[in-house]
Amino acid sequence: MLTRRIVITAATVLATLSVPVTSYAEDDPKGDGGIECGLYDCEVEVDVPGQGGGQAGGSGSTGGTGGSGSFDGRDSTDKTVCVYKLADPQPPVGSLDWEGHEPGDGAVYEQTCGWGGVDGDTIVRMVWLAEPPAQETADPAVLAQRAVDSMTLLGPDIASPRAAGKYTVGVPMWMWVNQSATTFGPNTASASAGGVTVTATAKVSKIVWQMGDGASVTCNGPGTPYQASEGMAQSPTCGHVYSKTSAGAKSGKFPVTATSTWTIDWQGGGQAGQLTEIRQTNGQVAIGELQVVR
């Protein structure tokens, strides 16, 4: 009689509970066996009668082998944060989660580990420990960046100047942008790990306009929409006056670039801080000469 034992994840077994655990073809020898599961691992034992101990087929492995100092194949240089929670109730006597130990000899914990900083993931498993573990906490700064990465932060949504608009030398130009959560803010997101939650709020603090004629204009806000009643007045918040036409520029238009600085304030885990993101939008504007009618 040949006895085979393999260890698989409990998740694999749970995923197949809707069908028989063991199935045979009509001519297959029937044997005894069983499955013993911990909360996350299962040991499958199959006794097949009438077969000797010779090699059948090639050799293989039920799982990959990770590198030295790694868990589940992850590089030991990854930034790792693990937290533990005592399993309540504790697994029954003989459970695989005891890893060969007896109840009362240490305890079984639910271990949650995160890898790789802001781009990492989280894995949960049951582990036996002889002594209560020293709890680790997630780095709030890492969670803050993860929250920012989950946001959609775009460049300015330019309302004026318009690419199809016609503007004139010496006439004040009013620049402004449309405001939304993704193009101006505020934009808020949170990230959690290891019992720590960090909330970050992003908002555009300034927009730098490169006007294409060599001038740069810094606006500490979205700008003010122009109203016809303003006549030839200059913008009170964000404007520029061209002193030459764009006739000599490529395609007859000046390239305009609006670069926004997103300032992100975050707090959580007893800490607070600030991050910065830069986004850009490109446009163009045609500047003509003032036509005098006589």
Phi and psi dihedrals of 122, rounded to 5? Answer: -130, 135
Collapsing DSSP states into helix, strand and coil, what is residue 216?
strand
Name every residue whose Cβ is closer than 8 Å to that of residue 209 and which is 6 or more positions away in sequence: 175, 216, 217, 218, 219, 238, 240, 256, 257, 258, 259
The DSSP bridge pattern shows strands 2-9 and 41-48 to be antiparallel
Determine the pLDDT at residue 194: 76
Q: Which H, E and C letters describe 220-254, residue by residue?
A: CCCECCCCHHHCCCCCCCCEECCCCCCCCCHHHCE
The pTM is what?
Answer: 0.58
Determine the pLDDT at residue 195: 82
Peptide bond into 20 cis (omega under 30): no
Determine the pLDDT at residue 133: 82
**pLDDT tens-digit readout, 140-150:** 998 999 999 99
Determine the pLDDT at residue 237: 98
Name every residue whose Cβ is closer than 8 Å to that of residue 265 and which is 6 or more positions away in sequence: 200, 201, 272, 273, 274
Determine the pLDDT at residue 170: 96
Phi and psi dihedrals of 129, rounded to 5? Answer: -135, 140
CA distance 181 to 83: 34
Determine the pLDDT at residue 84: 82
**pLDDT in single tens digits along all 294 residues of the chain:** 343 334 444 444 444 433 333 332 334 444 444 444 444 444 444 444 444 444 333 333 333 333 333 344 444 444 566 778 899 999 999 999 999 999 989 999 998 886 654 455 678 899 999 998 876 668 899 899 999 999 999 999 999 999 899 899 999 999 999 999 999 999 999 998 878 999 999 999 999 999 999 999 999 999 999 999 999 999 999 999 999 999 999 889 999 999 999 999 999 999 999 999 999 999 999 999 976 555
| Integer CA distances (angstroms), 253 to 8, 155, 272, in order | 66, 21, 45
Collapsing DSSP states into helix, strand and coil, what is residue 191?
strand
DSSP string, 6-23: EEEEHHHHHHTTTS-SS-
Determine the pLDDT at residue 27: 42
Determine the pLDDT at residue 122: 72
Q: In the Cβ-directed half-sphere of 220, how many Cα atoms lie within 13 Å?
A: 0
